Protein backbone atom coordinates (compact mmCIF):
# COMPACT_ATOMS: atom_id res chain seq x y z
CA UNK A 1 0.00 0.00 0.00
CA UNK A 2 1.39 3.41 -1.01
CA UNK A 3 1.97 5.80 1.87
CA UNK A 4 0.06 9.03 1.22
CA UNK A 5 1.94 12.27 0.88
CA UNK A 6 1.24 14.75 3.65
CA UNK A 7 0.47 18.44 3.37
CA UNK A 8 0.70 20.36 6.64
CA UNK A 9 -1.27 23.53 7.38
CA UNK A 10 0.13 25.89 10.01
CA UNK A 11 -3.21 26.55 11.66
CA UNK A 12 -5.78 24.08 12.96
CA UNK A 13 -8.67 25.29 10.77
CA UNK A 14 -9.36 27.71 7.96
CA UNK A 15 -12.25 29.16 9.97
CA UNK A 16 -14.33 27.86 12.87
CA UNK A 17 -16.79 26.46 10.33
CA UNK A 18 -14.31 25.16 7.72
CA UNK A 19 -11.79 22.43 8.43
CA UNK A 20 -8.78 21.73 6.19
CA UNK A 21 -10.10 18.20 5.77
CA UNK A 22 -12.55 19.75 3.32
CA UNK A 23 -9.69 19.81 0.80
CA UNK A 24 -9.12 16.04 0.98
CA UNK A 25 -11.31 15.25 -2.02
CA UNK A 26 -9.19 17.63 -4.12
CA UNK A 27 -5.99 15.82 -3.12
CA UNK A 28 -6.42 12.08 -3.66
CA UNK A 29 -3.35 10.26 -2.38
CA UNK A 30 -2.57 13.02 0.10
CA UNK A 31 -3.11 13.23 3.85
CA UNK A 32 -4.20 16.67 5.06
CA UNK A 33 -2.85 17.48 8.53
CA UNK A 34 -2.73 20.63 10.64
CA UNK A 35 -0.67 22.12 13.45
CA UNK A 36 -0.87 25.07 15.83
CA UNK A 37 1.02 28.02 14.30
CA UNK A 38 3.86 27.85 16.83
CA UNK A 39 4.37 24.08 16.59
CA UNK A 40 4.92 23.43 12.89
CA UNK A 41 8.41 22.07 13.54
CA UNK A 42 6.91 19.34 15.75
CA UNK A 43 4.63 18.02 13.00
CA UNK A 44 6.95 17.64 10.00
CA UNK A 45 7.36 13.87 9.96
CA UNK A 46 6.54 12.61 6.48
CA UNK A 47 5.40 16.04 5.31
CA UNK A 48 5.96 16.78 1.62
CA UNK A 49 4.46 20.28 1.49
CA UNK A 50 3.78 23.01 4.05
CA UNK A 51 1.15 25.74 3.94
CA UNK A 52 2.08 28.16 6.75
CA UNK A 53 -1.20 30.13 6.48
CA UNK A 54 0.39 33.09 8.23
CA UNK A 55 2.61 31.08 10.58
CA UNK A 56 6.40 31.30 10.45
CA UNK A 57 8.26 29.16 7.95
CA UNK A 58 11.63 30.49 9.05
CA UNK A 59 15.07 28.93 8.91
CA UNK A 60 14.37 26.71 11.94
CA UNK A 61 11.22 25.22 10.39
CA UNK A 62 12.83 24.82 6.98
CA UNK A 63 15.87 23.08 8.46
CA UNK A 64 13.75 20.76 10.60
CA UNK A 65 11.87 19.12 7.73
CA UNK A 66 12.44 17.26 4.50
CA UNK A 67 9.45 18.84 2.69
CA UNK A 68 10.06 20.26 -0.75
CA UNK A 69 7.34 22.86 -1.17
CA UNK A 70 5.99 25.82 0.82
CA UNK A 71 2.71 27.06 -0.63
CA UNK A 72 0.65 30.11 0.20
CA UNK A 73 -3.09 29.76 0.85
CA UNK A 74 -5.04 32.93 1.35
CA UNK A 75 -2.34 34.95 3.07
CA UNK A 76 1.06 36.14 1.96
CA UNK A 77 4.59 34.81 2.23
CA UNK A 78 5.97 37.53 4.51
CA UNK A 79 6.94 34.97 7.19
CA UNK A 80 8.65 32.55 4.79
CA UNK A 81 12.45 32.62 4.57
CA UNK A 82 12.56 32.34 0.78
CA UNK A 83 16.35 32.65 0.58
CA UNK A 84 16.90 29.76 2.99
CA UNK A 85 14.24 27.70 1.24
CA UNK A 86 16.05 28.15 -2.06
CA UNK A 87 19.34 27.05 -0.53
CA UNK A 88 17.69 23.89 0.79
CA UNK A 89 15.95 22.97 -2.45
CA UNK A 90 12.47 23.98 -1.28
CA UNK A 91 10.10 25.55 -3.79
CA UNK A 92 8.00 28.48 -2.58
CA UNK A 93 4.78 29.24 -4.46
CA UNK A 94 1.87 31.59 -4.06
CA UNK A 95 -1.74 31.85 -5.15
CA UNK A 96 -2.03 34.32 -8.06
CA UNK A 97 -3.13 37.79 -6.98
CA UNK A 98 -4.84 40.73 -8.68
CA UNK A 99 -3.14 42.31 -11.70
CA UNK A 100 -2.03 45.91 -11.39
CA UNK A 101 -4.29 48.43 -13.04
CA UNK A 102 -2.89 50.17 -16.09
CA UNK A 103 -5.54 52.88 -15.69
CA UNK A 104 -8.89 53.53 -14.07
CA UNK A 105 -11.77 55.13 -15.88
CA UNK A 106 -13.54 57.99 -14.14
CA UNK A 107 -16.07 56.75 -11.60
CA UNK A 108 -14.52 53.31 -11.25
CA UNK A 109 -14.72 51.52 -7.91
CA UNK A 110 -11.40 50.38 -6.44
CA UNK A 111 -11.55 47.17 -4.37
CA UNK A 112 -8.54 45.75 -2.54
CA UNK A 113 -9.00 42.32 -0.98
CA UNK A 114 -5.46 41.17 -1.83
CA UNK A 115 -2.62 42.73 0.17
CA UNK A 116 -2.45 46.02 2.01
CA UNK A 117 0.92 46.76 0.39
CA UNK A 118 -0.78 47.26 -2.98
CA UNK A 119 -1.99 50.60 -1.63
CA UNK A 120 1.15 51.84 0.07
CA UNK A 121 3.99 54.25 -0.58
CA UNK A 122 5.83 53.23 -3.75
CA UNK A 123 3.22 50.62 -4.69
CA UNK A 124 0.35 50.65 -7.18
CA UNK A 125 -1.29 53.50 -5.28
CA UNK A 126 -0.72 55.04 -1.89
CA UNK A 127 -3.50 55.75 0.55
CA UNK A 128 -3.10 59.51 0.23
CA UNK A 129 -3.43 59.24 -3.55
CA UNK A 130 -6.50 57.03 -3.19
CA UNK A 131 -8.09 59.52 -0.79
CA UNK A 132 -7.31 62.37 -3.18
CA UNK A 133 -8.86 60.47 -6.10
CA UNK A 134 -11.98 59.82 -4.04
CA UNK A 135 -12.23 63.46 -2.98
CA UNK A 136 -11.81 64.59 -6.60
CA UNK A 137 -14.49 62.15 -7.75
CA UNK A 138 -12.20 60.37 -10.21
CA UNK A 139 -12.58 57.19 -8.17
CA UNK A 140 -16.23 56.63 -7.39
CA UNK A 141 -15.74 54.40 -4.37
CA UNK A 142 -13.43 51.98 -2.62
CA UNK A 143 -13.82 48.68 -0.81
CA UNK A 144 -10.88 47.89 1.45
CA UNK A 145 -10.42 44.67 3.40
CA UNK A 146 -6.65 45.09 3.75
CA UNK A 147 -4.67 48.17 4.67
CA UNK A 148 -1.15 49.53 4.38
CA UNK A 149 -0.84 49.55 8.18
CA UNK A 150 -2.81 47.13 10.32
CA UNK A 151 -4.75 47.51 12.47
CA UNK A 152 -6.04 50.40 10.42
CA UNK A 153 -6.84 53.70 12.13
CA UNK A 154 -10.65 53.96 12.21
CA UNK A 155 -10.33 57.74 12.44
CA UNK A 156 -8.30 58.09 9.25
CA UNK A 157 -9.75 60.37 6.60
CA UNK A 158 -9.66 57.51 4.08
CA UNK A 159 -11.72 55.09 6.17
CA UNK A 160 -14.16 57.85 7.17
CA UNK A 161 -14.77 58.88 3.57
CA UNK A 162 -18.47 58.25 2.73
CA UNK A 163 -17.56 56.35 -0.46
CA UNK A 164 -15.34 53.83 1.36
CA UNK A 165 -16.48 50.51 2.77
CA UNK A 166 -13.79 48.96 4.99
CA UNK A 167 -13.55 45.63 6.79
CA UNK A 168 -10.83 44.47 9.23
CA UNK A 169 -8.96 41.95 7.03
CA UNK A 170 -11.58 39.22 7.37
CA UNK A 171 -13.34 39.53 4.02
CA UNK A 172 -11.47 36.59 2.51
CA UNK A 173 -12.54 34.06 5.12
CA UNK A 174 -15.52 32.76 3.21
CA UNK A 175 -16.71 29.39 2.00
CA UNK A 176 -16.40 30.56 -1.61
CA UNK A 177 -12.78 31.63 -1.10
CA UNK A 178 -11.96 28.34 0.65
CA UNK A 179 -13.36 26.24 -2.18
CA UNK A 180 -11.99 28.24 -5.11
CA UNK A 181 -8.56 28.72 -3.59
CA UNK A 182 -8.56 25.04 -2.64
CA UNK A 183 -8.93 24.01 -6.29
CA UNK A 184 -5.98 26.18 -7.36
CA UNK A 185 -3.89 25.10 -4.38
CA UNK A 186 -4.58 21.39 -4.93
CA UNK A 187 -3.85 21.56 -8.65
CA UNK A 188 -0.49 23.19 -7.97
CA UNK A 189 0.44 20.58 -5.34
CA UNK A 190 -0.39 17.80 -7.78
CA UNK A 191 1.61 19.52 -10.53
CA UNK A 192 4.66 19.77 -8.25
CA UNK A 193 4.29 16.19 -6.94
CA UNK A 194 4.25 14.91 -10.53
CA UNK A 195 7.66 16.50 -11.10
CA UNK A 196 6.53 19.78 -12.66
CA UNK A 197 7.54 23.29 -11.73
CA UNK A 198 4.93 24.80 -9.41
CA UNK A 199 3.04 27.68 -10.95
CA UNK A 200 3.45 31.19 -9.48
CA UNK A 201 6.72 30.20 -7.79
CA UNK A 202 8.64 33.02 -6.10
CA UNK A 203 11.96 31.17 -6.23
CA UNK A 204 13.78 28.65 -8.43
CA UNK A 205 15.90 26.18 -6.42
CA UNK A 206 18.36 24.12 -8.44
CA UNK A 207 17.01 20.88 -6.95
CA UNK A 208 14.09 19.68 -4.85
CA UNK A 209 15.01 17.98 -1.59
CA UNK A 210 11.72 16.12 -1.07
CA UNK A 211 12.78 12.46 -1.41
CA UNK A 212 9.38 11.23 -2.53
CA UNK A 213 9.22 13.44 -5.62
CA UNK A 214 9.08 11.54 -8.88
Whether 17 sits among the annotated catalytic residues: the reply is no
Question: Which among 13, 84, 161, 169 is annotated as catalytic?
Answer: 169
Residues constituting the chain: 214
Whether 150 sits among the annotated catalytic residues: the reply is yes
Question: Which among 59, 84, 87, 115 is annotated as catalytic?
Answer: 115
Whether 115 sits among the annotated catalytic residues: the reply is yes
Backbone angles phi, psi at 105, to 5 degrees: -75, 155
Instruction: Return the closest-CA partner of residue 27 out of 5, 10, 53.
Output: 5
Question: Which among 12, 17, 78, 150 is annotated as catalytic?
Answer: 150
Active site members: 115, 150, 169
Amino acid sequence: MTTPRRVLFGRERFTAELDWAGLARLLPGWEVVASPPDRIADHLDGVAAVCPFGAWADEAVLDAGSFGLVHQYGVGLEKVDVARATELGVWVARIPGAEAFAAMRPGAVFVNVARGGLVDSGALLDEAALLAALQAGHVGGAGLDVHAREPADPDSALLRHPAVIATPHVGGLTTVMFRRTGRVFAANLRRWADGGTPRWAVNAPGFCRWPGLR
